[in-house]
Chain A
């Protein structure tokens, strides 16, 4: 990487311009991509619309015009995609920093599915019916799953290696999926409520839903940014981090809390969507170098781009139906996982 080690005050000279140019390039790419995917997202869908319809539909939709109404309904969907994608990208970056593990992702570690299980149980046995209720139980599920996966993955010799964490995540996912089936098969009424949700979809977006989860996402994002420096120090190992004046335990707890808030809220509103959190931090690091102060915001921005792009792609590929965004991200993200695994040295797995 071109950046200097992060926590030491960087030797001011030569390297800085190069890395900041690259960061600027990343920013330009990001903003352009965001604009493009947002325009595409309101334009494309199962109904073909004209450009004038798009402009009118976004600015002042006429509810009697079907084309404009379709465009108007795509606006909250796009917003939700941006928000959820950013949350997942951020959550992935925080998790990868916390676990010092290139394969960490709310989906791969099973955290999203733990949150799903909690929501299903909440709907089936505790009569939850509001989004706010879903959000709170999703937090609970996400937190418990994260603790279990991390504990299981890090006991034994070698600590939390990527292989062990990924396997622990796969195992927890399998178990949790079985439990979800168990609840759903006994309660067909719940299956109906839950169905749209288990594949990960933006199809039911409403502005109210975004407003409900927004406070949680904001708190999560603030926490994530607050621990950025701590994550940089953690990358050097616990001893060095302590030596640099970081409270390792505090960083871990706050970071985990941020990841739980971000991924739990994302799951509550859009269902379990895997691989966004895995891929985006790697892409971001390509532009920013390893410093988390930069990796975190770039991951969030790239995550937003990816999720909206995947959603648009899902609408275009399977027209006139649509492919849920969770399916698209898995199809796009798994090859990246394989590429990362191939690049990593065997003894680091």
Chain B
């Protein structure tokens, strides 16, 4: 362990007294994914839209051809460390509890967190609150989800994408500030930090049309940056398109499963009317399993099923 601030030691001690499970931070240094890992990814639009492209998930899958690692993407546009996008009919606090429950149900061994972009608009004034809320999120997840390994991912920069769009200079100052805060948080818990803010030595890797969200090419590049900064240089090899398409399909099916349309009638306050249709929702599970099996097959053979 490196230099650990005193309050961290104290909070560990307090936690140890009350919760033995979470007494010890679960970390991996250097980070690697293990056979049997269940990785849950949470955050805002960046990780939600990753499902459409699935470059990051595919790269991580392909990196370990002989390890069975499964991914569940719980990204939700506009989300923050306070789960502000997840309240639905309830206040964000209930959405936060729901996030805890959803993550817990998935029994994750690794949780990757992609927060900071949306919070950064609050600037310097919002920073202490962000740090407080992020720390609380990690603490709560540790307890709820049986102490998973955390990977804290910083937001990426905004770019100048056209004259009509806002100048990103100020946003980027804030993003940098928030990224540093996330790095400090990771440091303080000995968790893994992935810096997506820092440009490459060869230049900027971001590709975006609106300055803040990535294009498909942007995601392809992001997967390289992400793998190398998480797993080390040259950790990103060529990935098979078949494998990527299978991952995308699995993610689509899982999205129907965990965030179905018509939730008002299926599980919400009008379930007494059409709640009988909710029986269909778990019927996606075998379809997801089928896709997982296909992904495993493609992973083992390097993406070529023929």
User: Do A and B bind?
Assistant: no
